[in-house]
Chains A and B, each alone.
Chain A
Amino acid sequence: MNTALLLEMAADGAGERVAIGSAADGCVWPELLDRARSAAGWLASRPAGTVAHLGLNSQVVPVALYAAGLAAKPFAPLNYRLPDADLRRITARTAPSVVIADEDMAARVQGIEGVEVITRAAFLAEAGAGHEPPAIGAEPDDIAILLFTSGTTGEPKAAVLRHRHLTAYVLSSVDFLGAADDEAALVSVPPYHVAGVSAVLSATYLGRRTVYLESFTPEAWVALARDEAITHAMVVPTMLGRVLDVLEEKGERLATLRHLSYGGGRMPAASIERALKLLPHVDFVNAYGLTETSSTVAVLSPQDHREAVASADVDVRRRLGSVGRPLPALELEIRGAGEERLAAGELGEIWVRGEQVAGEYLGHRAIRDDGWFPTNDSGWLDEGGFLFVEGRLDDVIVRGGENISPGEIEDVLRGHPGVADVAVIGLPDDEWGERVAAVVSPTDVKTSAEELGAWVRARLRSTKTPELFEFRDVLPYNETGKLLRRTLKQELSARPAPARPAPGPTTSSSIASTRGC
């Protein structure tokens, strides 16, 4: 069994439905299967071991993904936003390989040893040429997907997802042909993101039409959602905020949209409350997952959203900021530094176990022999089993033995009218191990370090109050919307700490110390 079985089933069972493209003239499921089979026949004739893709969203993504499965070769979507040197280094790691590249990107990966380049148009011609596919496709334990993790630090790791992980994820999370006839998904996450992979597989098994947005802009997203009568979509937090701005500006309410899922980073509570108000006819789902877990492992359902918003109970209301409960097919635990299981309310590392969990990279297995995978994300469960993700484990600030979650402090600061965006980080400290610092991107409302310090102290413990505030126009994010805390930490750590106990002279006029301790 491999991922292509999902497509074979859809071609059998949903023959008349459009798979990719517009409702009027898109390609139907049996056509998509024919293209994947022909492309697989062509791929089988190449010396390539791996099938890489360098391009924007298009029908090449599902064709190449399924063709690779039928030809028993791993599929590796590459990040076209990387600088040339990084892109070439990653591409070289896929050799021997064939890279299917958009016409305007092909030159970037020419001339790498063991790497054959074919343009998008030439590949689609092979997909339409009626080549005979190989008799035997990938086995369940073969590698289906190689994803070079975007990472917020260091050389990208090549995460390995096998066919059995991905098929287990799909079979356990969606029903075969579970989509209504008129359903259509708008996919705008880049193809090299795990959500782009799971979007292909889930839509296939559901029998749901997919419309691709080549590359995200909020204006294009809104226009396409309206013109294509989109019912389902997935966005990362930075996309949602920008989409909401356009909707407000244009007075557009996307009447056909039923279901909007978001994930891939921390969503400010204000954004989601604004979305719920602006689009009351839409079901919202917050999804949490990792590349290494074949995408989603926990979801906050539409019902959870409504209950949280309507509740007077502060604990229930707070769940709007959670990622909901683990999928039923998974086990999830919070563990301490000694790998001991922690109780509800305690902050630790999130561990997961289940058939969709790969936890593997080329040359390195992070998953344990008993199937448990340490995610390197920190979080906690409330009494109702709702999961709160606080960020990467490395981002947790340990001050005087106390674990402090940056996310909690950031949420409080975002509630201040003078704060547009904020990153809270830990800086090395001789006395406390680490001290809390906040980098703030201000709004037009004038504020000061003293005022923000008092704001946090009034709402959280004083140990959680940042000792340092730095003001900047913008904060650094990577292209999939992940805040690059590490970058800020390195920049600020390079500066000498202010003297204690009295607040000493600061090294930069934009840094203010609010607390001497």
Chain B
Amino acid sequence: MKLTPGSRWKCALSEAEFVLVRAPSMEGELACGGLAVLAAAAERPAGGAKPEGESLLGKRYTDVDTGLEVLCSKAGKGILSFDGRALTIKEAKRLPSSD
């Protein structure tokens, strides 16, 4: 699992999709609903239980320990984790927009 910035992933168990924003400081497994995420181009296997919880469109999820940051680009069931640690929502910043 090569977690490079800009790489795209999807949940093996739901419609949820993700973009990697910041790479983790050490290698590990990114999972959704407890199962390793799939590369965006991969086929989702049929069946499998619907996972608990939800990933929300446009939210950023982070692992404080490694600095890993993931953007949810399509909403779906399943909570993200990295090496078993649940990721947490990164607080939105309020910047004065210039555009």
Residues of A within 8 A of B (CB): 1, 5, 8-9, 12-13, 139-141, 163-164, 167, 171, 173-178, 185, 195, 198-199, 201-203, 206, 232, 234, 259, 261, 263, 283, 285, 287, 289, 295-296, 299, 301-302, 327-328
Decide: A287 and B98 in contact? CB cutoff 8 A.
Answer: yes
B98 touches A178 (CB 8 A): no
Residues of B within 8 A of A171 (CB): 21, 60, 71
A384 CB, min distance to chain B CBs, angstroms: 16
Neighbour of B6 across the interface among A140, A185, A302, CB < 8 A:
A140
Chain B contact surface mostly: loop
Task: Give min CB distance, A165 to chain B, whole Å.
Answer: 11
With a cutoff of 8 Å between Cβ atoms, the chain B residues found around residue A203 in the complex are 99
Is the pair A202, B99 in contact by a Cβ cutoff of 8 Å? Answer: yes
A/B interface sample: 16 pairs, CB < 8 A: A13-B58, A140-B5, A164-B5, A167-B6, A175-B58, A178-B92, A198-B99, A206-B97, A234-B98, A259-B97, A261-B98, A285-B98, A287-B98, A289-B98, A299-B96, A328-B93
Are the CB atoms of A199 and B99 closer together than 8 Å?
yes
> B72-99 CB contact bits vs A (8 Å, 1 = yes)?
0111000000000000000011111111
- Residues in chain A near residue B57, CB distance under 8 A: 9, 12-13, 176
Smallest Cβ distance from A228 to chain B, in angstroms?
Answer: 17
Q: Check A283–B96 contact: CB distance below 8 A.
A: yes
Judge whether A12 and B95 touch: CB under 8 Å. no
Report chain B residues within 8 Å CB of A198.
99
Q: How far is the CA of A285 from the CA of B92 in the complex (A)?
A: 20
Known: A171-B21, A175-B93, A176-B58. A195 touches B6 (CB 8 A): no
Nearest opposing residue in chain A for B71, CB measure: A171
Known contacts: A5-B19, A5-B73, A8-B73. The answer to whether A164 contacts B96 by CB under 8 A is no
B74 and A12 contacting across the interface, CB-CB below 8 Å: yes
B residues 17-67 in Cβ contact with A at 8 Å: 19, 21, 57-60
Contact B6 A301 (CB under 8 A): no
Interface-centre pick from A164, A201, A296 (highest chain B CB count, 10 A): A296
Closest to A169 in B: B99
Interface contact B5-A202, CB-CB below 8 Å: no
B5 — which chain A residues lie within 8 A by C-beta? Answer: 140, 164
Residues of A within 8 A of B75 (CB): 12-13
Question: Which residues of B are at the interface with A, using a C-beta cutoff of 8 A?
Answer: 5-8, 19, 21, 57-60, 71, 73-75, 92-99
**Given A5-B73, A287-B98, A295-B99, 6 other A-B residues pairs in contact with their CB atoms under 8 A:** A13-B57, A13-B75, A171-B60, A173-B95, A198-B99, A328-B95
A203 to B98, CA, bound (A): 11
> What 9 A-B pairs are tightest by C-beta distance, nearest first?
A176-B58, A140-B6, A287-B98, A202-B99, A1-B6, A301-B96, A296-B98, A261-B98, A175-B92
A489 to chain B, nearest CB (A): 31
Q: In chain A, what residue has the closest Cβ to B41? A: A136
| Distance of A284 Cα from B7 Cα, bound (Å) | 37
A1 → B minimal CB distance (Å): 4
CB-defined contacts of B19 to chain A, threshold 8 Å: 1, 5
Q: Is there an interface contact between A202 and B95, defined as CB atoms closer than 8 Å?
A: no
- Contact assessment for B8 and A173 in the assembled complex, using a CB-CB cutoff below 8 Å: no
**A1's contact among B8, B60, B74, by CB below 8 Å, is which?**
B8
Kindly list chain B residues whose C-beta atoms are within 8 Å of the C-beta of A163: 6
Tell whether, in the assembled complex, residue B99 and residue A327 are in contact, meaning their CB atoms are under 8 Å apart.
no
Option from A8, A195, A283 in Cβ contact (under 8 Å) with B99: A195
**A9–B97 CB distance below 8 A:** no
Contacts of A232 in B (CB 8 A): 97
Q: Which residue of A lies closest to B98 (CB)?
A: A287
Question: How far does the alpha carbon of A8 sit from the alpha carbon of B19 in the complex, in Å?
Answer: 13
Report chain A residues within 8 Å CB of B96.
283, 285, 299, 301-302
Complex CA–CA separation, A302 to B74 (angstroms): 34
Q: How far is the CA of A173 from the CA of B98 in the complex (A)?
A: 9
Query: Residue of A at shortest CB range from B97?
Result: A174
Q: Which partner residue on chain A sits nearest B92 by CB separation?
A: A175
**Cα separation A167 to B92 with both chains bound (whole Å):** 17
- Docked Cα-Cα span, A163 to B98, in Å, equals 20
| A139→B6 contact, CB < 8 A | yes
With the chains together, A163 CA to B8 CA distance in Å?
14
Q: Nearest-CB distance from B22 to chain A (Å)? A: 9
Complex contacts, B98 vs chain A, CB 8 Å: 173, 234, 261, 263, 285, 287, 289, 295-296, 299
- Distance of A285 Cα from B99 Cα, bound (Å): 10
Interface centre among B8, B93, B97 (most CB of A within 10 A): B97
Q: Which residue of A lies closest to B21 (CB)?
A: A171
B58 contact set on A, CB distance < 8 A: 9, 13, 175-177
Chain B residue nearest in CB terms to A178: B92
When distances are taken between beta carbons in the complex, the residues of chain B under 8 Å from A178 are 92
Q: Which of B21, B96, B99 has the most CB of A within 10 A?
A: B99
Whether B71 contacts A299 by the Cβ 8 Å rule is no
How many angstroms from the CA of A173 to the CA of B94 in the assembled complex? Answer: 9
> In the complex, which residues of chain A have a beta carbon less than 8 angstroms from the beta carbon of B60?
171
Name which residue of chain B comes closest to A170, CB basis.
B99
Cβ of B8: which chain A residues have Cβ within 8 Å of it?
A: 1, 5
With both beta carbons as reference points, the residue of chain A lying nearest to B8 in the complex is identified as: A1
Chain B residues positioned under 8 Å from A234 (CB to CB) = 98-99
**Complex Cα–Cα for A178 and B21 (A):** 19
| Complex: A201 Cα to B94 Cα, angstroms | 18
Q: Roughly how many angstroms separate A232 CA and B94 CA in the complex, as a whole number?
A: 16
Q: How far is the CB of A140 from chain B (nearest CB, A)?
A: 3
Residues of B within 8 A of A328 (CB): 93, 95
Q: Would you give the shortest CB distance from A20 to chain B, in whole angstroms?
A: 15
